[in-house]
Amino acid sequence: MNDKGFFLTLEGPDGCGKSTQARLLGEYLDEAGCQVLLTREPGGTPLAEEIRRVILTPSRESLDPMTEILLYVAARAQHVKGLILPALASGKVVICERFIDSSLAYQGYGLGWDLELIENLNRMAVGDLSPDLTLLFDQDTEECRKRVQGRAQNKGADRIEARDPAFHQKVREGFLKLAFNNPRFKVISGAGRDIESIQRELRSVLKTRIPKLACLNGTDSNIP
């Protein structure tokens, strides 16, 4: 448990709807009087965002799988030291889209790399920092694919989104394996639900899972 702040991560396959929910949660916590940092991986600091661009922008040269793992880890080291740890030390609620679980799901379960190797590389980069709570957005792979395709009509799919459906299915199953019997996780099913109903569930999860947050005390009436 992080001593002062609260480290909340949102995970899930591409197109699972976590960015919208992260933004709405940020607004909710902000209105409740919490100091909030909304951030994402890969990225979050200018340098880590540069690394994001290198990883995700499709190029003629294919991205070697070990290079891919190391770039995610490098971006994470930069992000954790430059942004996340200082924010937690000052008592903020850090809402981070994706963290080490994404490396385990995508590079581990998706690409087939050894989970222990990924875990060890990440520990070298960020020490023992771990989320206090992880919200895993689970959604049918086909539904996610449609959502990604809708977005990609404007900007084109990125390097990871463009991988085949079998890869994304392995990622989804990998996330569920990581969450199984792990009290750090709360699995949120997106099946047939609208944004508002999911947001209501998230808010009540937060109320029960982070009672130590003074800013959330006495805000029951704000939960629709």
What residue ranges bind ligand TMP (CB under 6 A)?
14, 40-42, 72, 97-98, 102-103, 106-107, 160-161
- Closest-CB residue for ligand TMP? 106
The least distance separating ligand TMP from the CB of residue 32, rounded to whole angstroms, comes to: 25
Q: What HEC string does the chain produce?
A: CCCCCEEEEEECCCCCCHHHHHHHHHHHHHHCCCCEEEEECCCCCHHHHHHHHHHHCCCCCCCCHHHHHHHHHHHHHHHHHHHHHHHHHCCCEEEEECCHHHHHHHHHHHCCCCHHHHHHHHHHHHCCCCCCEEEEEECCHHHHHHHHHHHHHHHCCCCCCCCCHHHHHHHHHHHHHHHCCCCCEEEEECCCCCHHHHHHHHHHHHHHHCCCCHHHCCCHHHCC
The least distance separating ligand TMP from the CB of residue 201, rounded to whole angstroms, comes to: 20
Please identify, using beta-carbon distances, which residue of 185 and 216 lies nearer to ligand TMP. 185
Please identify, using beta-carbon distances, which residue of 138 and 161 lies nearer to ligand TMP. 161
Please identify, using beta-carbon distances, which residue of 11 and 132 lies nearer to ligand TMP. 11
The least distance separating ligand TMP from the CB of residue 62, rounded to whole angstroms, comes to: 15
Please identify, using beta-carbon distances, which residue of 69 and 213 lies nearer to ligand TMP. 69
